[in-house]
Amino acid sequence: MTTTIDRSADITQPLEKLGPDETLKFNSDYLRGKISYDLLDRITGGVTFESNKLMKFHGIYQQDDRDIRDERRRQKLEPALTFMVRVRLPGGVCTPEQWLKIDELAQAHGGNTIRLTTRQTFQFHWIVKEDIKPTIQGLHDVLLDTIAACGDDARGVMATADPLNSEVDREVAELSKQLSDHVIPNMRAYHEIWYGKERVATSEDEEPLYGPTYLPRKFKIAFVIPPFNDVDVYTQDLGFIAVTGPSGVEGFNVTIGGGMGRTDNEPTTYPRLADVVGYIPKERLLEAADAIISVQRDYGNRAVRARARFKYTIDDKGLDFIKAEIERRMGAPFEPTRQFELTTNGDSFGWRETDRGLFNFGLFIPNGRVSDHFMTGLREIAKVHKGHYRLTPNQNLIIVGVSPEDKPQIEALLAQHGLDEKQFSALRLNSIACVALPTCPLAMAEAERYLPDLVTKIEALLDQNGLRDEPITIRMSGCPNGCSRPYVAEIALTGRAPGKYNLYLGGGFHGERLNRLHAENIGEERILEILSQLLSDYARDRLPGERFGDFFERTVDQPAAA
Catalytic residues: 86, 155, 218, 220, 434, 440, 479, 483
Choosing among ligand SRM, ligand SF4, none, which partner's interface includes residue 309 (Cβ < 5 to 8 Å by kind)?
A: ligand SRM
Antiparallel, parallel or unpaired: β 12-14 and 60-64: unpaired
132 contacts ligand SRM (rule: CB under 6 A)? no
The answer to whether residues 158 and 184 touch, using CB atoms and an 8 Å cutoff, is no
DSSP string, 11-69: -EEEGGGS-HHHHHHHTSTTTTTTHHHHHH--S-SS--HHHHHHHGGGTEEEEE-GGGH
Which of residues 105, 447, 493, 522 is near ligand SF4 by CB under 6 A? 447
Q: Which stretch binds ligand SRM (CB under 6 A): 22-30, 114-122, 132-140, 465-473?
A: 114-122
435 contacts ligand SF4 (rule: CB under 6 A)? yes
d(CA 121, CA 451): 21
247 residue type, one letter: S
Which of residues 274, 479, 491, 522 is near ligand SF4 by CB under 6 A? 479
The answer to whether residues 478 and 497 touch, using CB atoms and an 8 Å cutoff, is no
Choosing among ligand SRM, ligand SF4, none, which partner's interface includes residue 439 (Cβ < 5 to 8 Å by kind)?
A: ligand SRM
Which of residues 253, 477, 502, 515 is near ligand SF4 by CB under 6 A? 477
Choosing among ligand SF4, ligand SRM, none, which partner's interface includes residue 478 (Cβ < 5 to 8 Å by kind)?
A: ligand SF4
Angle at 148 between CA 59 and CA 366, to 5 degrees: 60
Smallest separation (angstroms) from ligand SRM to the CB of 241:
16
d(CA 271, CA 257): 10
Which of residues 52, 82, 118, 494 is near ligand SRM by CB under 6 A? 118
Within residues 1-60, the interface with ligand SRM by CB under 6 A covers none
d(CA 180, CA 317): 27
Question: Would you call 82 exposed, middle or buried from its count of C-beta atoms within 10 A (0-12, 13-18, 19+)?
Answer: buried
Q: Could you tell me the CA-to-CA distances from 28 to 34, 189, 207, 239 in Å, in that order?
A: 8, 10, 13, 31
The answer to whether residues 420 and 407 touch, using CB atoms and an 8 Å cutoff, is no
Whose Cβ is closer to ligand SRM: residue 381's or residue 435's?
Answer: 435
Q: Which stretch binds ligand SRM (CB under 6 A): 339-347, 379-387, 415-423, 480-488?
A: 480-488
The answer to whether residues 466 and 538 touch, using CB atoms and an 8 Å cutoff, is no
Which of residues 136, 427, 436, 462 is near ligand SF4 by CB under 6 A? 436
Q: Which stretch binds ligand SF4 (CB under 6 A): 46-54, 371-379, 430-438, 530-538?
A: 430-438
554 residue type, one letter: R
User: Which among 189, 172, 177 is positioned nearest to 143, based on CA atoms?
Assistant: 177
390 contacts ligand SRM (rule: CB under 6 A)? no
Alpha-carbon 133 to chain mean position: 24
Choosing among ligand SRM, ligand SF4, none, which partner's interface includes residue 477 (Cβ < 5 to 8 Å by kind)?
A: ligand SF4
The answer to whether residues 252 and 228 touch, using CB atoms and an 8 Å cutoff, is no
With CB atoms as reference, the residue minimizing the distance to ligand SRM is 261
Whose Cβ is closer to ligand SRM: residue 117's or residue 425's?
Answer: 117
Q: Which stretch binds ligand SF4 (CB under 6 A): 9-17, 78-86, 180-188, 432-440?
A: 432-440
Q: Which stretch binds ligand SRM (CB under 6 A): 8-16, 100-108, 417-425, 479-487?
A: 479-487
Site string for ligand SRM, 231-270 (x = CB under 6 A): ----x-----------------------xxx---------
The sheet carrying 60-64 orders its strands as: 60-64, 81-86, 122-127, 114-116, 369-370
485 contacts ligand SRM (rule: CB under 6 A)? yes
Size of the site for ligand SF4 (CB under 6 A): 13
Q: Which stretch binds ligand SRM (CB under 6 A): 74-82, 118-126, 286-294, 510-518?
A: 118-126
483 contacts ligand SF4 (rule: CB under 6 A)? yes
The answer to whether residues 58 and 193 touch, using CB atoms and an 8 Å cutoff, is yes
User: Which among 128, 302, 297 is positioned nearest to 209, based on CA atoms?
Assistant: 297
Q: Give kind and range of the element (H or E) at residue 400.
A: strand 397-402
Cis omega before residue 438 (within 30°)?
Answer: yes
Whose Cβ is closer to ligand SF4: residue 235's or residue 294's?
Answer: 235
Choosing among ligand SRM, ligand SF4, none, which partner's interface includes residue 118 (Cβ < 5 to 8 Å by kind)?
A: ligand SRM
Task: Report the SS3 class of residue 221.
Answer: strand
Site string for ligand SF4, 168-197 (x = CB under 6 A): ------------------------------
Binding site for ligand SRM (CB under 6 A): 61, 63, 84, 86, 117-119, 121, 123, 155-156, 220, 235, 259-261, 309, 368, 395, 434-435, 439-442, 481-483, 485
> Which stretches of the chain bind ligand SF4, using CB under 6 A?
434-436, 440, 442-443, 447, 477-479, 481-483
